[in-house]
Amino acid sequence: MDSGCTPGGIFKLRELIEEHPGEIAYDFRSKFGISFEAIGNEVSWLEAICLASVLFRDPTSWLQARVNNWDYPVSREWMVQTHTYDLHAQVNSKNKPKPYPTPWLNANSKRLGSKTPQSRQDVLAKLEHMNPKENDG
């Protein structure tokens, strides 16, 4: 999300509203006490962009959870408690216990990426294709 210093922030916010209207509506209403429909009228676009950027850093935000493919949002305290629970279970168990379920993808349960090695040039070419640089001209 852009800081509002460039026109891209407005376009990105409009895109987020179109892609995740329920999450934006819930977060704006519950966290800021305003409707996202007030953007451009009672709330400036710059302020709305700043508010939305805060939602991306807030793990209790439905928008942050949805964008990061979490099943549901959680608080930082919840994260600490689940990690503490997992450590406690690990220390006090003879067998390796299953970790407490989290809303995000378990990095140990699925392997991401390709099993076949790729050359550095291939990886850089794919990254360049995904994020092309603007032509100077």
Chain segment 78-108, per-residue pLDDT in tens: 999 999 999 999 999 999 899 999 998 765 5
Q: How far is CA 18 from CA 2, 12, 14, 69, 88, in A?
A: 17, 10, 6, 17, 43
Residue 102: CB atoms within 10 Å = 16
**CA atoms within 13 Å, Cβ hemisphere of 21:** 2
94 within domain boundaries: no
Count the domains in the chain: 1
Chain segment 12-59, per-residue pLDDT in tens: 899 999 999 999 999 999 999 999 999 989 999 999 999 999 999 999
Confidence of residue 4 (pLDDT cuts 50, 70, 90): very low
25 within domain boundaries: yes
127 within domain boundaries: no
Q: Name the 3-class secondary structure at 129.
A: helix
131 within domain boundaries: no
**Contact (Cβ atoms closer than 8 angstroms) between residue 70 and residue 78:** no
Q: Which alpha helices (DSSP H) does the chain contain, by range?
A: 8-19, 21-27, 45-57, 62-67, 76-91, 120-130
16 within domain boundaries: yes
Provide the residue range defining the domain that includes 40: 8-67
